[in-house]
Amino acid sequence: MNRTTLSLIGAVTALAAVTGVAALTGGSSEDADPAAKAATRLPVQRSTLLCPAPSSSDVSSTTYTAYTPERDGVEAKDGTAGLLPAESHSDDVSDPGAGDGGSKDDGGDNGGKGAKDGGKGGRTSQGGDKPVLPLKEPGKPVTTDEDSSGAPALIGTADGRFAPGWTVQQTTTIDAGSGRGVLGTACTAPDTDFWFPGVSTDRDRQDFVHLTNPDDVAAEADLKIYGPSGRLNASTDESITIPPRSTVPVLLSTLTDQRSAGVTLRVTARTGRVGAAVQAVDQKAGSDWLPASAAPSTSVVIPGVPKDATSARLVVFAPGSDDADLKVRLAGPNNSITPAGHESLHVKSGMTAAIDLGDVTKGEPGSLLLTPEGGEGPAAPVVAALQVTRGKGGDQEMAFIPATGAIERSATAADNRSKGSTLSLVAPGATTKVRVTASAGADGGSPVSKTYEVKGGTTQALEPPHPSSGKGPYAVTVERLSGGPVHASRMLELPQGGVPMFTIQPLPDDRGTVAVPEAGQDLSVLNDD
């Protein structure tokens, strides 16, 4: 083989190598054009969501609502969005049939009432292949109701035009029993690491963590619980195997012999990836889903504390090697103040700290801001959540608000009703401007948008706009337009029999777009010396 042939082969190989590297890294940092290195944000092409089994109570009913917002830059091409039932498995350390907070092992009857909006996406028998909540077009929600106590967990995917911003909300009402209340959660994306400050192993609580595996191979997850003095002693194997495309509920009090209120659960996927959600059932204060906290950060925001909260319990965990000293502030409608008697909070490394803030909002809506107290050395990251109670005595109901990441571009709450929805927006730093859009209703109507300005250091609690002439559940999308960071949550009130039943969902960024760097090529490597 002559030298020319060898040079040609080498050149082709080099070109392939350079092209591959450029696609991943954007090319050489020295030779590439700066304009070529700038990342372009493009809509995601595929989304996965996992919905936990809603309830084993015979007096429960669940509404599912799915929605993908209309977006500029998304091509009107083919795509699908829908969910399928997951298999249900009990673990040796779980008791999914206990109380009103568990999920039954047999999967029960999955026959639903069918999807509204003409979608007719009703449930099929477990293991069936007919999708639940299939979308027909972006910008129009689809909803279905489920009255079976054995409703399964759901595993769903959206691709093409339905993937960017796809969201599914499940809202369960339990009319009686120790779990009585409204339990709401946004179905979550699978991941490998979750933090749940605010869980409990106390005798008055039954907290289940629901682990769902969306993939075709088994996943393994470690469960670790941390209390006021560090990690709680394990009474059993903390490693849980989740079979392919299945869900496993685990009762947290079976993982340890120590009983403690206000502890922190960490879920870490050893192999594979999982969805994790905690269902908390209190003997006196009702029940709700506890969403995972935002990733550990030196400053956190807990948005949307109701104005009529009768009590609020803050739970904070410091996962790093250093203690955290935090300044506690409440961002109200007009300014930020320091709650009397709770100016600061010291959290020891590897330990959980909890403080009772009482009726901290004093009749005005607000949000909690936790920032470093200052001093020598770098600030320590924390995770946090707030347990909120409304009502008194036998008419109490609770909900949870975790630390919530900022909305970089947009976020959506899928299930809103004609009455009872409150959107909370907080700007912890500079003033920000947002656009709030109400979608069409599941039974028709037209979208309506309004623009709001939120002053720095304040919380604005508002009734979101309603669709024009629309009926049925509708979605609310928050888009950040300009200014500083904005954090948000949505409260849904469904009072019943004198009990102020409610649920609060955080609204983190929907990650509907992804940064794709522009690739450049350097053909000088093809020169033959």
Q: Which one of 290, 315, 341 terminates a domain?
A: 290
Q: What's the pLDDT tens digit per position in 63-80?
A: 999 999 998 767 767 899
304 and 252 housed in the same domain: no
333 and 257 housed in the same domain: no
Give the total number of structural domains in the chain.
Answer: 3
238 and 305 housed in the same domain: no
pLDDT in the model for residue 3: 39
Give the whole-angstrom CA distance, residue 451 versus residue 480: 10
Residue 107 lies in a domain: yes
pLDDT in the model for residue 56: 82
Residue 31 has pLDDT above 60, yes or no: no
323 and 431 housed in the same domain: yes
Q: Answer whether 210's CB lies under 8 Å from 95's CB.
A: no
Exposure on the CB side of residue 473, measured as CA atoms within 13 A? 24
List CB contacts of 193: < 8 A, sequence separation 6 or more: 266, 267, 268, 269
pLDDT in the model for residue 525: 53
Exposure on the CB side of residue 191, measured as CA atoms within 13 A? 14
506 and 439 housed in the same domain: yes
85 and 166 housed in the same domain: yes
Q: Which one of 268, 290, 312 terminates a domain?
A: 290
Counting Cβ atoms within 10 Å, is residue 401 exposed (0-12), middle (13-18) or buried (19+)? buried
Give the whole-angstrom CA distance, residue 470 versus residue 521: 52
Give the whole-angstrom CA distance, residue 436 versus residue 427: 15
Q: What's the pLDDT tens digit per position in 389-405?
A: 999 988 999 999 999 99
276 and 328 housed in the same domain: no
Q: What's the pLDDT tens digit per position in 203-235?
A: 999 999 999 999 999 999 999 999 999 999 998
Q: Is the dihedral of CA 524, 525, 528, 529 positive or negative?
A: positive
> What is the residue range of 469's domain?
300-511
- Mean pLDDT score of the chain: 86
Give the whole-angstrom CA distance, residue 23 versus residue 17: 10
Q: Answer whether 366's CB lies under 8 Å from 399's CB.
A: no
pTM value? Answer: 0.85
Q: Could you give the 3-state DSSP secondary structure of residue 299?
A: coil
15 and 29 housed in the same domain: yes
Q: Which one of 246, 264, 290 terminates a domain?
A: 290
7 and 77 housed in the same domain: no
283 and 362 housed in the same domain: no
Residue 172 lies in a domain: yes
- As a whole number, mean pLDDT of residues 443-466 equals 97
Q: Could you give the 3-state DSSP secondary structure of residue 167?
A: strand
Name which of 385, 344, 60 is nearest 200 in CA terms. Answer: 385
CATH code, domain with 324: 2.60.290.11
Residue 295 lies in a domain: no
- As a whole number, mean pLDDT of residues 273-286 equals 95
Q: What's the pLDDT tens digit per position in 317-373?
A: 999 999 999 999 999 999 999 998 899 999 999 999 999 999 999 999 999 999 999
> In percent, how much of the chain has pLDDT > 70?
82
Residue 440 lies in a domain: yes
- The DSSP line for 452-496 is EEE-TTEEEEEPPP--BT--S-EEEEEEEEEES--EEEEEEE--B
Both tokens of 95, joined, read 């008791």
The Cα-based distances of 512 to 71, 79, 275, 294, 451 in angstroms read: 9, 15, 19, 18, 21
Residue 99: pLDDT band (50, 70, 90) is very low
- As a whole number, mean pLDDT of residues 254-283 equals 96
Torsion of CA 506, 507, 509, 511, to 10 degrees: 90
188 and 68 housed in the same domain: yes
Residue 97 lies in a domain: yes
pLDDT in the model for residue 524: 61
Give the whole-angstrom CA distance, residue 133 versus residue 191: 23
309 and 284 housed in the same domain: no
Q: What's the pLDDT tens digit per position in 254-266?
A: 999 999 999 999 9
The Cα-based distances of 107 to 180, 186, 281, 345, 365 in angstroms read: 21, 21, 21, 44, 40
Residue 269 lies in a domain: yes
pLDDT in the model for residue 526: 58
Residue 318 lies in a domain: yes
